Amino acid sequence: MAIFKGAGVALVTPYNEDESINYEALGELVEEQIKGHTDAIIVCGTTGEPATMTEEERTSCMEFVVKKVAGRIPVIAGTGCNCTRNAIALSKKAEEIGVDGLLVVTPYYNKATQEGLYEHYKAIAASTKLPIIMYNVPSRTGCNIMPQTAARLGKECENIVGIKEASGNISQVAELASLTKGYLDIYSGNDDEVIPILSLGGIGVISVLSNVAPQQTHDMVMEYLEGDREKALQLQLSFLPLIHALFCEVNPIPVKAALNMLGKNAGVVRLPLTNLSKKNRPQLENALKECKLL
């Protein structure tokens, strides 16, 4: 059974001006997502800036979100790391905390071979009973899970149940869907490819857009899955200018700026990221207004 169908939000981690975690704002964001019918919350995914968090901060965020959500929707924790042992340790900790599933990004920088990726994920899967969604985002990790490797892992590891596909290669997604024939759930990892991936048998998206438009992102997926493909397509197309604006600089810089524009108090980003440049603010503001969010 899928961990979720629909739109899961890759939630930002709000910071205070001193870069400490703003738990009050985090709680407000969680409640707003649930009110907007988000289908799952992903905590400490890439959008949550885990690369600049301490292990204590990551586990604290997981604990807070699990308690705040209180079983209303699934909570999925990002536990990926480029050290397999560290990824295993964090995955075990997430299981103790009580999350519903794990999102595990490919090991970045190491540039593992396909056999290395297989062994990496196999070792993590063996360390936990939680269902795992692999996360393939070569543009950020320098590492691509090929369809054959993903299919092999989904077939051999009972608790590897899905993949977040952000390769940007629709042909690769089609090959993956053909190889797995439904036994590996496919989620779009790019907000501008939700409908194309759903058309290949995907069951949802893990979304940056959902931070600012949870209801609309949920509707985009569910309208498609429930048969109104024309309405889903129109939602996809109408939000393209905002989706592009949310990636005018590296994620999560623009989405945090957008939340701040909407009065949501997402705060700053941590170095080596920097806050949104003045030259890109008009594009983001105009896109929010076009979508009637601002």
| Catalytic residue numbers, as ranges | 135, 164
Rounded to whole angstroms, how far apart are CA atoms 59 and 53? 10
Among 195, 161, 199, which Cα is nearest to 180's? 161
At how many degrees (to 10) do helices 170-180 and 147-156 cross? 30
Cβ burial 239-257 (10 Å sphere, 16+ → b, else e): bebbbebbbbbebbbbbbb
Phi, psi of 190 (to 5 degrees): -125, 125
The residue assigned the tokens 């869907």 is: 177
**Residue 265: count of CB within 10 angstroms of its CB:** 16
The residue assigned the tokens 């360390």 is: 127
Q: Is 7 helix (H, G, I), strand (E, B) or coil?
A: strand
Phi, psi of 127 (to 5 degrees): -90, -5
